[in-house]
Chains A and B, each alone.
Chain A
């Protein structure tokens, strides 16, 4: 298995960073949906979290059962040091690659739109 992060994994780690140590699945999923505007499957999320945990990038802790969850427990996730480092690498890569490209991307998009109109 490669050491690099998948796109989905990156997004999860970013959400965890933003939400802090008490984040659990539901909160992460909402964060993802609210910010990206895309539907996220709960099953996919937990599968990815499980994978990240195996890789030592996140750790988890099981909470107490609650009534609104049908007597089920929550699982809280937190970012581990290696997760932070992985995130940093991903972020640097992205930042370096996209540095100064903002206007260019917009310009390119504008060209496509213009082309489509013509």
Chain B
């Protein structure tokens, strides 16, 4: 028989590998054919053939080969499609039977979905909706780079930018200078604050601006003719302020108290220049003295690189140009270079808005996560409640698959309904939330619901509920349903499902902590902000910006003009306080000077102290409300011919001479030689709502007489209306120089209100998130607790029967919940710290680890948990031992 035996090894291999359904027949066929082949062509060839067959058959016919598993029987196929429909109907019916529960679940999910959708709409509007430039890689920004690192990317003078443009003609297609300020559009229904960008006409070409209406600015617009002011509006301003007036072109608008003729409206895509909104654009009139002054550092530039030129090549070229300029203007340009930065590198930087959106986005995402967890826990609890029903139905012949279908059908239908509700909430929310233009951005007129974002949120919600639903279901169907047919609670769920549930609860508490902490910090910021001591009296303050530039205003002429102005202001009726203050506003100067204290001027390791710089008229500081802490305020003795004097803010004095008296000491003032400190005043704080560093409070003051600046602010404290006050000032200024117009009027309250509004907006949203979080957490803890209690009814009954006290029972119910809370609080505390770091830029006068915000969360959440636990605990206490044990 040796001739007839096929090789053993492949045969054995086949026996192991083959799908048992076909093994017998495959082996039989191979044996049979092997015999025939061996007879025909000899054993060696037959063996070779057998080996080949064995290998291919082992692969193609093994247990894991495709097609060896049984597909659904065709007979059951029709049922498969019918059953889910039945299940959906059944699921909907069972939801309808419990409208309260159902609407709670739907509402929770809808909230989560709508939050995410709204915030994503905002983010889209800011970040992704605003890449409006053709070939952005060719757009570059040019800044002044000083010799010291702090002078990176600063404004420079107009003439300097023109020199850069000329010198860089080989690498740039063109360079446009621009400067951004604020002003207001006066309408009969009130004033609207806007960002005003003054530009060279090439600006429109550099950024490739399309026009929706009219024309862009052109070279001819820069001609000096004061009566002929023109303006280009952004699409957002056109829509929101002028209601999209189709005849806007050629109309005159009041911008900062002067008439401007609208020549065009930019297309909607052009809304931003870096992180500043482009509200209105006006041409630079370069002939005025301010633009011819090489020291008037107030513009930056945007340029377009020539085709094929890299940023590095442009930077190299500008280095050469800068060196030439340094030689040509050794005074003004000493150490000054042009910094060329690719626009694309800066584009993502929206400054504070980045942070606003990041924080809101994280918070909304967390709330969304919370809502998914809550819904899952609710569905889970409901599933357990219904396990008896399932058990009965199964005993009557239903298959576990039906329950899976039913749970899935329920999950899907409830999520879809929630999605629809969420969509409605999102639409309404966007209308409500952005109605008052809270971020003061007219560029945001198009915050809207994005279908893709909404769908993503919906899909995520579906995925989450289904995933958890299926996990719970599978565990359930695997465990024995018959247990559940026994009296309530005996036996109960498996350990793993408890871990799933407990994990979810812990996660929920942790996320709540993070959201609540964020909201707490923002809320604290708002409180601190509205209760900030500015260091001066902000009540009824009105500022008017004044510019006395041009060749006729030399230093002496300015001194005379300011004295005259002061005299006339003093004579005004109903004006309690007044003053002259330049170049910025108190507490918010944007120009700074470096001071070096005497004795350290040769110290190479000390670069000097940067202080914010102010020119004031004697008397202005005390009338504004700054308090004298040391020495004296300025007086008439600090005139032009006298010893150069200086007053420092408390923070500046402390930084220069820690622990010493500042008065009488001398500093080298970067711009003007030696100065003697004659006084120290309280800090003035008003620099936006960002972080308060002590560096921001370092102010230095010099009299206008000793350093006459063409740019000043007149401030007044008057009882009359704003319009009346402005009118008075206008008349006074006209008496001094009839050619001057007041180009910006603002009240202190206004500029603070803006910051407050932005902060209020963030706070409102965060508060909304926090309230939602609190509700969700209550629901979750409640459902978890009542579930735990109901599962242990039997145990409680036994304990009570054996003489357990009430305290015992309460402890029994609470111990695990308390442990979970503690775990959640700990995890949440850590994640909240991480979140708070992200949002540090949004905080005002509050550190990211602010103890008040953090300490409040623990008790708040514990209180929530106690409220949520109240009902289940009461239910546990009411357990009647006889009833609980009866069926056992």
Q: Which of A's residues lie within 8 Å of B, judged by CB?
A: 1, 24-26, 29-30, 39, 41-44, 46-51, 54-56, 66, 68-70, 72-75
For window 17-41 of B, CB contacts with A under 8 Å fall at 18-19, 21-22, 24-33, 35
Bound together, the chains give a CA A77 to CA B751 distance in angstroms of: 91
Interface flag for B591 (CB, 8 Å): no
For window 706-755 of B, CB contacts with A under 8 Å fall at none
CB distance from B102 to the nearest CB of A (A): 38
Asked if A42 contacts B29 (CB within 8 A), the reply is: yes
Bound together, the chains give a CA A70 to CA B15 distance in angstroms of: 13
Nearest chain B residue, comparing its CB with the CB of A70: B31
Interface flag for B450 (CB, 8 Å): no
Nearest chain A residue, comparing its CB with the CB of B73: A54
Chain B residue numbers with a CB within 8 Å of A41 are 53, 56-57, 59-61
- Interface flags for B62-83 (1: CB within 8 Å of A; 0: not) read 1001011011011000000000
Nearest chain A residue, comparing its CB with the CB of B33: A26
Q: A51-B67, A70-B27, A74-B25 are in contact. Are A43 and B56 (CB under 8 A)?
A: yes
CB distance from B611 to the nearest CB of A (A): 79
Chain B residue numbers with a CB within 8 Å of A1 are 71
Asked if A47 contacts B31 (CB within 8 A), the reply is: no
Chain B residue numbers with a CB within 8 Å of A51 are 67, 71
CB distance from B68 to the nearest CB of A (A): 6
Bound together, the chains give a CA A75 to CA B32 distance in angstroms of: 13
Chain A residue numbers with a CB within 8 Å of B14 are 43
Bound together, the chains give a CA A42 to CA B6 distance in angstroms of: 15
Interface flag for B113 (CB, 8 Å): no
Chain B residue numbers with a CB within 8 Å of A44 are 56-57, 60-61
Bound together, the chains give a CA A39 to CA B73 distance in angstroms of: 32
Give the contacting residue for A55; candidates B18, B35, B74; CB below 8 A: B74
Q: A47-B19, A50-B67, A72-B31 are in contact. Are A25 and B61 (CB under 8 A)?
A: no
Bound together, the chains give a CA A64 to CA B170 distance in angstroms of: 96
Bound together, the chains give a CA A25 to CA B57 distance in angstroms of: 13
Chain B residue numbers with a CB within 8 Å of A49 are 22
CB distance from B52 to the nearest CB of A (A): 7
Bound together, the chains give a CA A42 to CA B52 distance in angstroms of: 10
CB distance from A42 to the nearest CB of B (A): 5
Chain B residue numbers with a CB within 8 Å of A50 are 19, 21-22, 67-68
Asked if B58 contacts A43 (CB within 8 A), the reply is: yes
Most buried by A among B57, B62, B68, B71: B57
Chain A residue numbers with a CB within 8 Å of B19 are 46-47, 50
Asked if B71 contacts A43 (CB within 8 A), the reply is: no
14 CB contacts below 8 A, A to B, read A25-B29, A26-B29, A29-B29, A41-B57, A43-B22, A43-B59, A44-B61, A47-B19, A47-B60, A68-B4, A69-B32, A72-B31, A73-B25, A74-B29
CB distance from B875 to the nearest CB of A (A): 52
Bound together, the chains give a CA A44 to CA B18 distance in angstroms of: 11
Chain B residue numbers with a CB within 8 Å of A55 are 71, 74
Give the contacting residue for B28; candidates A39, A43, A47, A70; CB below 8 A: A70
Bound together, the chains give a CA A72 to CA B27 distance in angstroms of: 8
Nearest chain B residue, comparing its CB with the CB of A41: B56
Give the contacting residue for B22; candidates A30, A46, A54; CB below 8 A: A46
CB distance from B331 to the nearest CB of A (A): 81
- New A-B pairs, 20, CB < 8 Å, besides A54-B70, A72-B31: A24-B29, A25-B25, A25-B29, A42-B29, A43-B57, A43-B59, A43-B62, A44-B57, A46-B19, A47-B19, A47-B22, A47-B60, A47-B61, A49-B22, A50-B19, A50-B68, A69-B32, A70-B31, A74-B25, A74-B28
Give the contacting residue for A47; candidates B29, B53, B68; CB below 8 A: B68
Bound together, the chains give a CA A73 to CA B25 distance in angstroms of: 7
Asked if A42 contacts B67 (CB within 8 A), the reply is: no
Chain B residue numbers with a CB within 8 Å of A43 are 14, 18, 22, 26, 56-62, 65
Asked if B35 contacts A68 (CB within 8 A), the reply is: yes
CB distance from A62 to the nearest CB of B (A): 8
Chain B residue numbers with a CB within 8 Å of A29 are 29
Bound together, the chains give a CA A69 to CA B53 distance in angstroms of: 16
Asked if A42 contacts B26 (CB within 8 A), the reply is: yes
Give the contacting residue for B32; candidates A26, A46, A54, A56; CB below 8 A: A26
CB distance from A89 to the nearest CB of B (A): 16
Asked if B26 contacts A73 (CB within 8 A), the reply is: no
- Interface flags for B671-695 (1: CB within 8 Å of A; 0: not) read 0000000000000000000000000
Chain A residue numbers with a CB within 8 Å of B30 are 42
Bound together, the chains give a CA A29 to CA B377 distance in angstroms of: 58
The 9 closest A-B pairs by CB, nearest first: A43-B61, A43-B57, A72-B28, A44-B60, A41-B56, A69-B28, A46-B22, A26-B29, A75-B25
